[in-house]
Amino acid sequence: MPGDDHREEGDSFPERTNLVADEGGVRTDGGSAAGADDVALDPWGSATVSNYRNLFEEFGIEEFDHILDEVPNPHYLMRRGVIFGHRDYSAVAERLREGGDAAVLSGFMPTGDPHIGHKMVFDEIIWHQKQGADAYGLIADLEAHAARGLSWAEIDEHSRDYLLSLLALGFDPEEGELYRQSTNREVQDLAFELGAKANFSEFEAIYGFDGETDVSHMQSVVTQMADILYPQLDEPKPTVIPVGPDQDPHVRLARDLAARMRFFKVTEAFASFEATPAERSLMREAYEALGGADADVRCEAAADHLRADHAGEVGAEGAIEKLANAGKEPLRPRIRFLDRNATSEAFDALIAAVDGEKRVFDEHVDAFDLTHDEAEELAREVEVDNGGYGFYPPSSIYHRFMTGLTGGKMSSSVPASHISLLDDPEEGYDKVKAATTGGRETAEEQRRLGGKADECPVYELYAYLLAGDDDEFATEVYEECVGGERLCGGCKEQAAELMEEFLADHQEKREEMEEVLDEVDIELESPRRRG
Ligand code: TRP
Ligand code: SF4
| CATH number of the structural domain spanning residue 463 | 1.10.240.10
Q: What residue's CA is closest to ligand 1, atom 8?
A: 107
| Percent of the chain with pLDDT strictly greater than 90 | 86
Backbone angles phi, psi at 251, to 5 degrees: -65, -45
491 lines ligand 2 (CB under 6 A): yes
* For range 235-247, the mean pLDDT: 97
Q: What residue's CA is closest to ligand 2, atom 8?
A: 488
- How far apart are alpha carbons 519 and 355 in whole angstroms? 50
My answer on whether 293 and 346 are in the same domain is yes
H or E element, residue 54: helix 52-59
My answer on whether 275 and 347 are in the same domain is yes
State yes or no: pLDDT of 34 exceeds 60.
Answer: no
My answer on whether 366 and 294 are in the same domain is yes
Quick one: CA dihedral 364, 368, 369, 370, positive or negative? positive
- Are 396 and 86 within 8 A, CB to CB? yes
My answer on whether 352 and 462 are in the same domain is no
Closest ligand 1 atom to 243 CA: 13
State yes or no: pLDDT of 1 exceeds 60.
Answer: no
- Are 468 and 394 within 8 A, CB to CB? no
- How far apart are alpha carbons 507 and 387 in whole angstroms? 46
Site to substitute for ligand 2 among 19, 465, 488, 499, most atoms within 8 A of C-beta: 488
pLDDT of residue 28: 30
| CA 511 – ligand 1 centroid, Å | 26
State yes or no: pLDDT of 369 exceeds 70.
Answer: yes
| CA 254 – ligand 1 centroid, Å | 12
- How far apart are alpha carbons 13 and 476 in whole angstroms? 10
Assigned domain for 369 exists: yes
Structurally, the chain folds into a number of domains equal to 2
Q: What is the pLDDT of residues 166-199, one digit of tens each?
A: 999 999 999 999 999 999 999 999 999 999 999 9
State yes or no: pLDDT of 203 exceeds 90.
Answer: yes
Assigned domain for 370 exists: yes
438 lines ligand 2 (CB under 6 A): yes
Q: How confident is the model at residue 378 (pLDDT cuts 50, 70, 90)?
A: very high
Helix (H, G, I), strand (E, B) or coil at 62: strand
State yes or no: pLDDT of 47 exceeds 80.
Answer: no
Separation in Å, CA 229 to CA 140, 251, 413: 15, 10, 32
Domain assignment of residue 288, given as a range:
265-385
- 245 backbone φψ class: left, alpha, beta (φ>0; ψ -120 to 50): alpha
- How far apart are alpha carbons 492 and 177 in whole angstroms? 38
pLDDT of residue 52: 84
| CA 106 – ligand 1 centroid, Å | 6
Closest ligand 1 atom to 223 CA: 9
My answer on whether 427 and 494 are in the same domain is yes
pLDDT of residue 46: 65
Assigned domain for 242 exists: no
Separation in Å, CA 137 to CA 69, 90, 161, 171: 27, 22, 13, 9
State yes or no: pLDDT of 155 exceeds 60.
Answer: yes
Q: Where does residue 16 rank: exposed (0-12), middle (13-18), buried (19+ CB within 10 A)?
A: buried
End-to-end CA distance of the chain: 56
Closest ligand 1 atom to 44 CA: 4
My answer on whether 277 and 374 are in the same domain is yes
Assigned domain for 255 exists: no
Quick one: CA dihedral 363, 365, 366, 371, positive or negative? negative
| CA 510 – ligand 2 centroid, Å | 31
Q: What is the pLDDT of residues 379-433, one digit of tens each?
A: 999 999 999 999 999 999 999 999 999 988 888 778 889 999 999 999 999 999 9
| CA 287 – ligand 1 centroid, Å | 47
133 lines ligand 2 (CB under 6 A): no
Q: What is the pLDDT of residues 309-363, one digit of tens each?
A: 999 999 999 999 999 999 999 999 999 999 999 999 999 999 999 999 999 999 9
My answer on whether 280 and 351 are in the same domain is yes
State yes or no: pLDDT of 32 exceeds 90.
Answer: no
Helix (H, G, I), strand (E, B) or coil at 395: strand
My answer on whether 370 and 274 are in the same domain is yes
My answer on whether 355 and 432 are in the same domain is no
481 lines ligand 2 (CB under 6 A): yes
Pick from 67, 50, 14, 34: nearest CA to 397: 67
Which pTM was predicted?
A: 0.90
Closest ligand 2 atom to 477 CA: 7
CB atoms within 10 A of CB 181: 23
State yes or no: pLDDT of 113 exceeds 90.
Answer: yes
H or E element, residue 365: strand 364-367
Assigned domain for 47 exists: no
pLDDT of residue 51: 79
My answer on whether 381 and 315 are in the same domain is yes
- How far apart are alpha carbons 96 and 130 in whole angstroms? 10
Beta bridge partners of 365: 337, 360
Closest ligand 2 atom to 452 CA: 6
My answer on whether 381 and 317 are in the same domain is yes
Residue 451 identity (one-letter amino acid): G
Assigned domain for 344 exists: yes
pLDDT of residue 35: 37
Assigned domain for 424 exists: yes
- How far apart are alpha carbons 255 and 394 in whole angstroms? 6
Q: What is the pLDDT of residues 466-507, one digit of tens each?
A: 999 999 999 999 999 999 999 999 999 999 999 999 999 999
DSSP 466: I
106 lines ligand 1 (CB under 6 A): yes
Half-sphere exposure (Cβ direction) of 457: Cα atoms closer than 13 Å: 26
My answer on whether 353 and 429 are in the same domain is no
Site to substitute for ligand 1 among 42, 46, 104, 108, most atoms within 8 A of C-beta: 108
Assigned domain for 438 exists: yes
| CA 241 – ligand 1 centroid, Å | 9
Across the chain, mean pLDDT equals: 91
DSSP 424-448: -HHHHHHHHHT---S--SSHHHHHH
In the listed set 385, 405, 434, which residue is the last one of a domain according to the structure?
Answer: 385
